[in-house]
């Protein structure tokens, strides 16, 4: 079956990009990991996607803490301290002259045997990429995006916890394929009980009767750093926020909807499963939160 993406969509990293790898900044061509690395062989590792605004690492502490929480959950011994990881990110930003961009911080289990045994490895490998990112087209932020509900459900929390930001994203990728096949760029994923969990790479919010609602932590979602910021910003404006259990019917009856994520930031949703959200245009609460979030990123200080 032919690929549906255009060649223009294929990313080619700049050869001038400097990658932080195992304590050194190296050119892209030298930024390599072993074919025996368990991150590659088994998706055995963790990562964080982090925004840079005005050379500042947005919500740095929250991202680093989540990284270390993920490491603890999979019994991955971190080779660097929180402070060393933070300093390495700053060094990577500076080396690439990035003012506004995106960091991908990755920790793999490291090279090991061809068996699945996680402790027969030579030790964790850390690398940091700092580059630019554009998740969605500008018109989607102005008019809203279309999303669908995926048939692929979110991982059961007793299998691989969605709260672990692991390198194994096949669950999300299969749902993403469904979205692309439907002509969209994002899909809602339900949990094993049929309730709304999150999207393939973003958290989801809806508005009903003036209240912002988003799936609760027990619904099987990654607790997004941007999600937490949005909840805080909404409550600062006395907009009620409920972390609750949501069904597809709740999505269909919402007057507003939007998604959030480190890469996506805040993007309105205009249709869900071909049903218009409200009047099919970004609503007032969504617009307010988008404006507040943009201001917050400009004013943010580490």
Q: How far apart are CA 196 and CA 190, in angstroms?
A: 4
End-to-end Cα separation, the chain, in angstroms: 47
Token pair for 27: 């050119």
SS (H, E, C) 249-293: HHHHHCCEEEEEECCCEEEEEEEECCEECCCCCCCHHHHHHHHHH
CA-CA-CA-CA torsion sign (171, 173, 174, 176) = positive
176 flagged as catalytic: no
Residue 29 CB-density burial (10 A; 0-12 exposed, 13-18 middle, 19+ buried): exposed
Closest CA to 90 of 20, 137, 160: 20
Tokens of 60: 């740095």
Among 165, 176, 287, 294, the active-site one is 165
Which residues are catalytic, by number? 165
């Amino acid at each position: 079956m032919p690929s549906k993406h255009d060649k223009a969509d294929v990313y080619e990293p700049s050869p001038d990009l400097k990658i932080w790898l195992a304590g050194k900044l190296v050119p892209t061509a030298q930024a390599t990991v072993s074919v025996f690395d368990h991150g590659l062989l088994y998706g055995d590792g963790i990562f964080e996607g982090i925004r840079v605004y005005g050379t500042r690492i947005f919500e740095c502490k929250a991202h680093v803490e989540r990284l270390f929480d993920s490491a603890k959950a999979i019994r991955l011994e971190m080779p660097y301290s929180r402070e060393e990881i933070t300093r390495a990110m700053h060094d990577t930003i500076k080396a690439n002259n990035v003012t506004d961009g995106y960091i991908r911080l990755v920790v793999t289990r490291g090279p090991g045997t061809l068996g699945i045994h996680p402790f027969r490895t030579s030790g964790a490998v850390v690398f940091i990429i700092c580059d630019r990112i554009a998740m969605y087209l500008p018109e989607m932020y102005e008019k809203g995006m279309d999303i669908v509900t995926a048939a692929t459900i979110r991982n059961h929390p007793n299998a691989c916890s969605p709260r672990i930001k692991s390198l194994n994203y096949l669950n999300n990728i299969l749902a993403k394929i469904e979205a692309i096949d439907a002509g969209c760029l994002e899909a809602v994923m339900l949990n094993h009980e049929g309730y709304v969990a999150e999207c393939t790479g973003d958290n989801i919010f809806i508005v009903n009767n003036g209240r912002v609602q988003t799936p609760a932590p027990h619904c099987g979602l990654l607790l997004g750093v941007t999600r937490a910021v949005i909840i805080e910003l909404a409550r600062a404006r006395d907009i009620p926020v409920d972390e609750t259990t949501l069904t597809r019917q709740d999505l269909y009856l919402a007057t507003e909807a939007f998604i959030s994520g480190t890469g996506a930031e805040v993007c309105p949703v205009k249709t869900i499963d071909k049903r218009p959200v409200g009047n099919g245009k970004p609503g007032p609460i969504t617009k307010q939160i988008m404006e507040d979030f943009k201001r917050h990123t400009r004013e943010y200080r580490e």
